[in-house]
Amino acid sequence: MERVGKWLGHPREIYNLLRFKMGGGTAVMPPRDQDALSDNLKTCYQYLNQTSRSFAPIIQALDGELRHAVCILYLVLRALDTVEDDMTISLETKVPMLHDFHSYLYQPDWRYMESKEKYKQVLEDFPTISLEFRNLAKVYRDVIAAICHKMGAGMAEFLQKKVESLQEWDKVWSRYAKKLSDLAKPENIDMAVQCMNELIINALHHIPNVLTYLSRLKTQSVFNFCAIPQVMAIATLAACYNNKQVFRGVVKIRKGQAVTLMMDATNIQAVKSIMYQYVEEIYRKIPSTDPSSNKTQQILVSIQTICFPNGTVVSCNRYAPIYLSCAMLLAALSWRYLSAMLEALEEDV
Ligand code: MG
């Protein structure tokens, strides 16, 4: 009954899950013909689908060669991240590996067989991925050289920004605890939640830049590719805000919510509307005990004003039609059947 109860509050999500399953998702993520691909590339797409549930469909929806390039780049970064995350690799081994990782792309036989991580196959079969990387690099040598040249300055700025961000984070958490690990202790959960809330509000400052970037994109598949992770991110931030469960387990957005966001975030107005609504959700969750609640409210309102300067929000059909609610009520009467169906739907998507 718990599963049905969870869904009853979100009838539109069930409708969208059904719509997605019955082909609604193909408008956003059209299926691609895999037959024309080389065996090597097919293997790479297989790894992509095994290692990423959320990025795999939007990468595969990209047009032409861009799709292959992003797929390979994703796998290279996934391999790098697998080394980073693997706590069974000693620091003496790990640090030089991370430093030298870029050179492994040009060593046809380099592979790593000692990882215990979930996605270790990308390290064990790295020769397949690096071969595709070198093939793409041959075709796009000039383009890649130009990007690398431009990236030189950009990367340095990004690195600087990252260092600044880390220092900024240090400043935030050190106001709540002497040591960062103190925040993981159950007795300090209130402080930990307040600290997390401040970091979430900090992250929202990037929304204007995100909107500016998205508004300049011209190709629909590229827009979807960029917009979908952003709306998933704001939905996740809203779910985490002032939520103690973050420190006790895993907080994720609902599958139906994810599918709804994927199908809605196809133009800049819809993205603004989604951002606006999740900022509003965070606003409603500001705890009355928060000492900086006034400041937090001001920040949230200013972000909403950036999304909609005139204050007119175009709703993304957030509220389900009345007939849908009635249908849900009827369905609830046979909740056993519905529960089984939802379980199957969640597994499929
Ligand atoms: Mg990592």
pLDDT number for residue 149 = 62
Q: How many CA atoms lie within 13 A of 341 on its CB side?
A: 14
Distance 206 CA to ligand 1 centre (A): 22
Q: Which residues surround ligand 1, an ion (CB under 5 A)?
A: 81, 84-85
Alpha helix locations (H) across the chain? 2-8, 11-21, 39-51, 55-60, 64-85, 91-104, 121-124, 126-139, 141-173, 189-203, 207-215, 220-240, 255-264, 268-284, 293-307, 322-333, 335-348
Please identify which residue in the block is written with the tokens 């400041």.
Answer: 295
Region 290-308: mean pLDDT is 87
CB atoms within 10 A of CB 318: 12
Q: How far is the CA of 140 from the centre of ligand 1 (A)?
A: 28
Q: How far is the CA of 93 from the centre of ligand 1 (A)?
A: 16
Ligand 1 center–CA 188 separation, angstroms: 26
Mean pLDDT of all residues in 100-113: 95
CA of 127 to the centre of ligand 1 (A): 22
Q: Tell me how far the alpha carbon of residue 87 lies from the centroid of ligand 1, in angstroms.
A: 11
117 Cα–ligand 1 center, Å: 11
Which of 103-112, 140-149, 196-205 has the weakest average pLDDT? 140-149
Which residue matches tokens 């509220």? 319
- Does residue 32 contact residue 221 with C-beta atoms inside 8 Å? no
**Any idea which residue has 């133009």 for tokens?**
267
Mean pLDDT in the chain?
82
pLDDT for 138 equals 85
Percent of the chain with pLDDT over 90: 43
Least confident of 131-135, 271-275, 344-348: 344-348
**Residue 86 CA, ligand 1 centroid: distance in Å:** 9
Q: How far apart are CA 185 and CA 187, in angstroms?
A: 6
**Tokens 């997605």, residue located:** 20
In order of their start, the domains of the chain are 32-151 (no CATH), 152-318 (1.10.600.10)
Among the ranges given (3-12, 203-212, 297-306), the one the predictor scored with the smallest mean pLDDT: 3-12
Residue 322: per-residue pLDDT: 52
What pLDDT band is residue 266 in, cutting at 50, 70 and 90?
very high
pLDDT tens per residue across span 179-227: 988 988 999 999 999 999 999 998 888 898 889 989 998 989 889 988 9
Q: What is the pLDDT of residue 315?
A: 56
Q: Are 165 and 77 in contact (CB under 8 A)?
A: no
Q: Does the predicted TM-score (pTM) go above 0.95?
A: no
Over range 83-90, report the average pLDDT. 94
Confidence of residue 319 (pLDDT cuts 50, 70, 90): very low
Residue at 101: amino acid letter? F
Q: What is the pLDDT of residues 236-265, one digit of tens each?
A: 999 999 999 999 888 988 888 988 998 899
**Tokens read off for 139:** 């075709």
What distance in angstroms lies between residue 308's CA and the mean position of ligand 1's atoms?
A: 35
Distance CA 45, CA 165 (A): 34
